[in-house]
Structure 1
Amino acid sequence: MTAKIICAGLLAVMTLTACGEDDIILPGVREPIRPGNAEVNQALPISFAAPQLNSSWTHRNGDADHMFPQPVFSTSPTLAFAVDIGAGDSKSARITADPVVAGGIVYTLDALSRVTATTTGGAPVWSVELTPPTDSRTDASGGGLAFGGGRLFVTTGFGRLTALDPATGGTFWTQDLDAPGTSAPTVSGDLVYVVSRDSTGWAIDTADGRIRYQLGGIPSVSSFSGGAGPAVTSDLAVFPFPSGEVVGVFPQGGIQRWSQIISGDRVGEAVAAISDISGDPVIDGDRVYVGNFSGRTVALDKATGDRIWTAEEGATGPVWPAGGSLFMVNDLNELIRLDAATGTPIWRVALPDFVDNGGWLRSKRTVFAHYGPIMAGNRLVVASSDGQLRSFDPRSGALMSSIAIPGGAASTPAIANGVLYVVNKDGQLLAFR
C-alpha cells in the first residue's frame, strides 16, 4: 500500500512539474484548423435591380419559384395596424404559415387551423375553421398558404389540402394527404404542389382536387417544424423531403429529372442533427439553392441536379439571391452573405440567439427565431421573435434600423404595395408602412 501511495505521489509531482513548464512556441504562420475560420467580414460592393412596387405576394419569398424581384419598402417604417387572426403560439401549437397577399386581401393561418382574410387596411373580411369534424381543434398544428388561379390553397397539420374561395372563405374541395401537410403549398398553372411529412410529393389539379401524380421520397424519422415546400417554374418542380432528399421533376408529368441528397452537419457547432430541408428551394436562373437545418447549403445545376458548391452553413429558411450574392439566416442565428458563384462567406452578423430564464439548463432558455431575410427598399429585412424588425446594409451587414414588433414575429414577412405584413406570436397580423 505504501509503495502505491509513493508512486501516486511521484506521479502527481511529475504532472505538476510538467504543467509548470513553459510552452514551446514554434516559429511560422498560424493557420486555422478549418478554412472557414479564416474568413474576414468584407464590405463588398453589390449591384442589384431597383425596388419595384408589387401588388401581390402569393407564396413564401413572394412567388412559386421563391425568387422575387426586390419590392418597395420604407427605410423608416411605422406600425399601421395590429388585428387578431386567431390562436397564437403555445406549448402545443405553433404558427408556421406566412401571410400571402392578393387582390387587396391579406390571408393568414393561425396555430389551430383557422384561416382569416383581412383587407390591406386592417378590416376583417371572413374567417373559417378547417378542423375536420372528427377531430379536436387542438389535435394538430401547423400548415401553410399559397394563392394562385383565383383560389387560396391551405395545408394543415390534419393532413389536408383545401382550396378556398378567396372572396368568401367557402370550400371548393379538400384532398386528404394521408399525413400532416405542414409545409406551404406551391401553385403554378393548373397544379398545386405539396410535400407531406411522410415524404410524399403531390401534384393536384387546382380545379377539382384530383391527384395528377405522387412522388415517394426517402422516409425520415424526424423533421423540421413547418418544413419546406416545392419550388416550381415552367420546366422544373423541385420537391424537398424531410430526409434531405431533393428531387427535380417535369412539372406536368412528374417524370424525374434528377435527385440529390443534402446531408452533413456543421462540424463542432451543430445545433441539431435534423436532416430536413428547412428552407424552400429557390430557383434562380440556371441554379437551385437549398439548405438543411444541420449545417449545409448547396447550389445545384437546374438542368442536371449536379452540385456546384456546398457551404457549411445551415439554413433556417429560403435564401434570397441578389446581385451575385446569397443572403440567409443560418443555423447559428447569423445573417450571412455568400458569394453566389462559390458559396464562400463574405460577411456574417450575429443575431440575438437566446435569453436565459433562470438556471443553466437549455430547457430554461428562450431561443429566438429569425424570419427572412427579404431584400426590400435596398435593405435586408429580418423579422425576429425577440420583437424586432431589423434592416441591414446588404454590402456590409451593418445594422441600419430597428423597430419593435409587438408580440414578436412568428412568420416571414410578406410585402405588397410598400406595406410589410407579419404575423406575431400572439396571433395578430401586423402591418408596417
Structure 2
Amino acid sequence: MKASSVRLACVLALPFLAACSTLDSINPFASKPLGPKVAELKPFVASAEARVLWREGIGKPGDYVLSPAVVDDSVYVVDRDGVLTRFDGGRKVWRVKVGQTVSGGVGADSRTVVVGTPKGEVLAFSAADGSPLWSARATSEVLAPPVIGDDVVVVRSGDNRLAAFELVDGKRRWTFQRPSPALAIRVAAAPLIADRYVFAGFPGGKLVAVSLANGAPVWEGTVAVPKGVTELDRVADITSTPAIDGQEICAAAYQGRVACFDLGNGSLIWAREMSSSAGLAIDSRYVYVSDDKGAVHALDRNSGASIWKQDRLAQRRLTAPLVRRGLVAVADLQGVVHFLKRDDGAFAARLTTDGNPVVAPLKASAEGVVVQTQGGAIYAIEAQ
C-alpha cells in the first residue's frame, strides 16, 4: 500500500482516525509521521476536581464507533461482538447477547433499546430486561446509533439514507435519500430528533430537516460548499450530530464551516470557516467546537465571533465538546478527559481513563460525563 493510499484510507474512514497511527507503523513507505506532532500535556493548576464515579469493563468496539446511550441514571453499552449491557449507577442490571456483530452504537429511551449491524439489521430490545422485541432492515450497514422519538426509531445507514421505523413493531414508516457526491466519508453520527423533525448532516455540507411524520424534506441549509480541484479536496461532509438550543441549530463540516440556522425555516444566522469532523455543542451563550487541528473554540452563538480558543491539545484528535456544570469536556486519543472553564477555556481538571482512544461522543448523565473507550471500558466521571 502506497503512502498516499494510507492517507486516503484515513480520510475516508474519518470517524476511525484513531487507527491511522497504526497504519503509519506498518507502512514501509512512511519515513516520517504523516502530520504534526501530538501536543504533550503540560501541568496546570486545577480549579476543579475530576473523579471516577464508577468504571466497568465491556467488550471492545473494534473498528466501529459504538456510542453509549444514557437515559436518566441508566447507561446502555454494546460491543462489537454484540454484548448489550445496561448499568444503573454502575450496577449491572442485565446483559444480553445480540447474536451478531454490532456496528452502530446504542439508541434508547425508557422502554426500548436499539442497535444496528453491518448487514443493515436494526434490532430492538426491552429496556426493562433486554428481551428482544423486533428486528427490521435498513438499506445498508448501520454505523450510527439509532435515535428514538415518541413513537418512531430513525436510523442512518452507511449509504447516507434515513429510515424511520414504528417503535412498537419495527414496521418501516418512510425512507429519505438525497444525492451524494462521488467521494464521501463514512459517518457514525446519529441524526437528531426535535419537535416534529429529524435533522441530519449529509455529504456536500448540507444540513437537512425532514418531517418525522412522512420523511418529506422541510428545509435544507448549506453548512459548507465543496472547494478544490480533486474529489478529495472537495470533501466537505458533515460527520457529526448537529446541536440544538432553543430555536437555533448548528452544525460543523469537515474542510468546511461551522454554521447556525433558524430551527423553523432553515434561514442562516451566521457561518464561519472552520474544519471539524468531531463536532460541536451549544449552550445559552456559546457554540463550542473541536476543530481538526485539536483546538477547542468558544464562539458567540449570536454572531459566531471568537470568544476564546484553547490550542494546547494540538493533534490529540479530540471528541466533540460536552458542556456540563460550567465546564466543557473533551476526550482524546490517549483516553484523557479534559475539562475546560466555560468562560475562558482554561484547563480546570484532567482525568486519564485506560489510555485508549476515545472516539465515541461523550454523553451527559445525571451523575456526570459518560465515556466509552476503544479499549473496552465505560466510565462515569464527575467534575466540579
Scaled to the shorter chain, the TM-score interval is 0.7 to 0.9
Offset from partner CA, 1:106-152 (integer Å, 9 cap, x none)? 21122444322233224362132342xxxxx4xxx631222125101
Tell whether the 8 Å contact from 1:231 to 1:239 is kept in structure 2 after alignment: yes
Relative contact order: is structure 1 or structure 2 higher (C-alpha 8 Å, sep ≥ 6)?
1
Alignment of 1:42-81 (within 5 A): 75-81=48-54
Match of 2:266 among 269, 280, 305: 305
**Residue in structure 2 matched with residue 49 of structure 1 by the alignment:** none
Asked if the contact 2:71/2:110 (under 8 Å) is kept, the reply is no
Give SS of 1:319's match: strand
- How many Å separate the matches in 1 of 2:117 and 2:376? 16
Q: Which of residues 370, 374, 384 is equivalent to 1:425?
A: 374
- Equivalent position amino acid for 1:252 in 2: A
1:405 corresponding residue in structure 2: 353
The alpha-carbon deviation at position 397 of structure 1 amounts to 0.9
Name the structure 1 match of 2:71: 102
Deviation sequence 1:86-106 (CA, Å, 0-9, x none):
1244xxx23x12222236432
TM normalised by structure 1 equals 0.70
In the alignment, which residue of structure 2 is the partner of 1:380? 328
TM-aligned CA deviation for residue 379 of structure 1? 0.8
Distance 2:117 2:272 in 1: 32
- Mapped to 2, the partners of 1:81 and 1:249 lie a distance apart of 38
Structure (1 or 2) with the larger CA radius of gyration: 1
Query: Which of 78, 82, 86 is the equivalent residue of 2:55?
Result: 82
Cα gap change, 1:250/1:174 in structure 2, threshold over 3 Å: closer, same or farther?
Answer: same
User: What is the number of residues matched between the two proteins?
Assistant: 332
Structure 2 unpaired stretches of 5+ = 1-46
User: How much has 1:319 moved relative to structure 2?
Assistant: 2.1
5 Å-filtered alignment, 1:1-150, equals 75-89=48-62, 93-94=63-64, 96-102=65-71, 104-123=73-92, 125-131=94-100, 137=101, 142-148=103-109, 150=111
When residues 327 and 103 of structure 1 are mapped into structure 2, their CA distance, relative to the original with a 3 A threshold, is closer
2:151 counterpart (175, 190, 205): 190
Q: Is the 8 A contact 2:204 2:225 kept in 1?
A: no
Partners in 1 of 2:184 and 2:178 — Cα distance?
13
Structure 1 residue runs without a partner (length 5+): 1-73, 132-136, 355-367
Aligned residues: percent identity? 20
Report the RMSD for the aligned CA atoms in angstroms.
Answer: 2.5
Equivalent of 1:234 in 160, 177, 195:
195
TM-score normalized by the length of structure 2 = 0.78
Letter in 2 for 1:311: R
Q: State whether residues 223 and 259 of structure 2, in contact with CA within 8 Å, keep that contact through their aligned partners in structure 1.
A: yes
For 1:343, the equivalent position in structure 2 comes to 304
**Residue among 138, 144, 158 paired with 2:119:** 158
* Kept after mapping to 1: 8 A contact 2:205/2:256: no
**Amino acid corresponding to residue 304 of structure 1 in structure 2:** N
| Structure 2 CA distance for aligned equivalents of residues 405 and 266 of structure 1 | 39
- Secondary structure of the 1:316 match is coil
- 1:275-303 Cα deviation digits (max 9, x unpaired): 32112122322222111122311112222
One-letter code aligned to 1:237: V
In structure 2, the residue matched to 1:395 is 343
SS of the residue 2:337 aligns to? strand
Q: Distance in 1 between the 2:74 and 2:325 partners?
A: 22
Please report how far the alpha carbon of residue 265 of structure 1 lies from its aligned counterpart in structure 2 after TM superposition.
Answer: 6.2
Q: Is the 8 A contact 1:298 1:307 kept in 2?
A: yes
Using the alignment, how far apart are the partners of 2:110 and 2:380 within structure 1? 25
Equivalent runs, 1:253-264 vs 2, <5 Å: 253-264=214-225
Give the one of 268, 286, 299 matched to 1:325: 286
